[in-house]
């Protein structure tokens, strides 16, 4: 069985975003625009596959207000939003796959050992149900929420595996359940296994899709050239303990 350890390398810093901070961010964006400075753009991927380029957004409860890059605003139910990713193109050098000789498996093997500060039993159970290496699942939880079941990002992602309500609904978990560790892990583990199968075991593509959405990975035919996504994939490699191929 897996074991929990406070000495794990996994971080435990909180990622909660209070309402006051979200509103401050929206105000800062307005002041930036008023000053005539170019605002950082982001892409909002909707559940129907449409992509909106926005100069800012604010999540309030179950709705999101978008400042469209072309001008004007749009208010949508958060359930319409699949992803929000930075529209920041970096160099086209592909993110490498893990080396074939790395001693890891993506599937579940009874008795696999892993050390986490919290939720070891729940992670092990979800990993077993969905044939995932619990160390991989724990690495995703660490990178996404630092094991904080109440974590909320300013994009509206929630819980241990930082799922958007629309993504959780695809895998049978309601938005109101996302702060329940077992239910969040159930949806997140199902989604991660689905992505691994979809990309024929290519870990770098599955992780990129978990961060930026499978539609984005398909559109770029690989890991998209977004700084956030590329750093995310390499961070999971580090936490999972695998080595990328030399560039």
Helical axes 227-240 vs 203-212, angle rounded to 10°? 130
pLDDT tier at 100, thresholds 50, 70, 90? low
Higher-confidence residue of 164 and 245: namely: 164
What is the C-alpha to C-alpha distance for residues 200 and 202, in angstroms, rounded to an integer?
A: 6
- Could you say which of 144, 177, 180, 186 is catalytic? 144
The CATH code for residues 1-247 is 1.10.530.10
pLDDT tens per residue, range 122-131:
999 999 999 9
pLDDT tens per residue, range 133-187:
999 999 999 999 999 999 999 999 999 999 999 999 999 999 999 999 999 999 9
What is the C-alpha to C-alpha distance for residues 117 and 86, in angstroms, rounded to an integer?
A: 30
Compute CA 233 distance to the chain's CA centroid, rounded to the nearest angstrom. 10
pLDDT tier at 203, thresholds 50, 70, 90? very high
The DSSP secondary-structure symbol of 89 reads: B
Q: Return the H-helix or E-strand segment holding 82.
A: strand 81-86
pLDDT at 195 over 90: yes
Paired with 77 in beta bridges are 63
pLDDT, position 227:
86
pLDDT tier at 31, thresholds 50, 70, 90? very low
Query: Where in the chain are the domains?
Result: 1-247
Query: Residue 100, Cβ neighbours under 10 Å: how many?
Result: 6
The token pair that represents 37 in the structure block: 């400075």
Answer yes or no: 180 catalytic.
Answer: no
Compute CA 138 distance to the chain's CA centroid, rounded to the nearest angstrom. 13
Residue 72: burial class (beta carbons within 10 Å; 0-12, 13-18, 19+): exposed
């Amino acid at each position: 069985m897996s074991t929990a350890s406070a000495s794990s390398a996994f971080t435990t810093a909180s990622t909660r975003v209070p309402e006051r901070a979200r509103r401050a961010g929206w105000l800062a964006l307005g002041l930036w625009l008023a000053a005539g400075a170019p605002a950082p753009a982001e892409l909002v991927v909707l559940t129907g596959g449409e992509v909106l380029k926005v100069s800012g957004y604010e999540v309030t409860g179950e709705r999101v207000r978008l400042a469209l890059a072309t001008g004007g605003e749009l208010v949508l139910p958060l359930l319409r939003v699949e992803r929000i990713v930075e529209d920041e193109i970096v160099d086209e050098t592909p993110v490498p796959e893990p080396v074939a000789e790395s001693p890891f498996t993506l599937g579940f093997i009874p008795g696999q050992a892993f050390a986490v500060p919290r939720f070891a039993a729940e992670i092990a159970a979800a990993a077993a149900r969905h044939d995932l290496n619990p160390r991989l699942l724990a690495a995703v939880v660490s990178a996404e929420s630092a094991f904080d079941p109440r974590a909320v990002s300013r994009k509206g992602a929630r819980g241990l595996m930082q799922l958007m309500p629309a993504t959780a609904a695809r895998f049978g978990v309601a938005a109101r359940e996302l702060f329940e560790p077992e239910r969040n892990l159930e949806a997140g583990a199902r989604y991660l296994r689905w992505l691994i199968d979809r990309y024929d075991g290519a870990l770098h593509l599955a992780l990129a899709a978990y961060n930026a959405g499978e539609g984005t990975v398909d559109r770029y035919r690989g890991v998209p050239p977004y700084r956030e996504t590329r750093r995310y994939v390499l961070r999971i490699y580090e936490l999972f303990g695998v080595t990328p191929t030399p560039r």
